[in-house]
Amino acid sequence: MEKEELLRKLSRLNEIVSEAKEIVNEIETFSRDAYYSQFDNIPITEIQLETKALTTRFHNVCRNNWESPIYTLGDLLKKSPKEVSYFRCLGKTCIEQVRQYIFLAYDVEWK
């Protein structure tokens, strides 16, 4: 084989690999959302943090987020902790406590 032919084949192989990665990502997203849909009937108010003030703040921020309000645990799990950290008035401590609560109460790791 000539060098040009090898380069074409290598280029095509790279295209195939990138297409395969996209397909795998789509499948993972679909399966994650399907798994999290079982939590769609659990209201966000079920989450109770260490202090009542922090719990109240978390519930209010989730409900009053103008971009995408969060009403259920399923809604929350479909977002990453990083996305939720951009909500105003939610700090790292609050998000970490929510992550711990979800893991302890529902045995689900929020990623």
pLDDT digits (tens, 9 = 90+) for 69-104: 999 999 999 889 999 988 888 889 899 999 999 999
* pLDDT given at position 43: 93
- Is 97 in the same domain as 63? yes
Predicted model pTM = 0.68
**In a shared domain, residues 28 and 45:** no
Which residue range is the domain that position 69 belongs to?
Answer: 40-106
Same domain flag for 11 and 55? no
Structure token pair of residue 11:
């280029």
Summarize pLDDT for 13-24 with one digit per residue, the tens. 999 999 999 998
Q: What share of the chain is helix, strand, coil (3-state, %, to 5)?
A: 70, 0, 30
Q: What is the CATH number of the domain that holds 97?
A: 1.10.150
* CB-based contacts of 91-99 (< 8 A; 24+ apart in sequence): 93/54, 94/49, 94/54, 94/57, 94/58, 97/49, 97/50, 97/54, 98/47, 98/49, 98/58
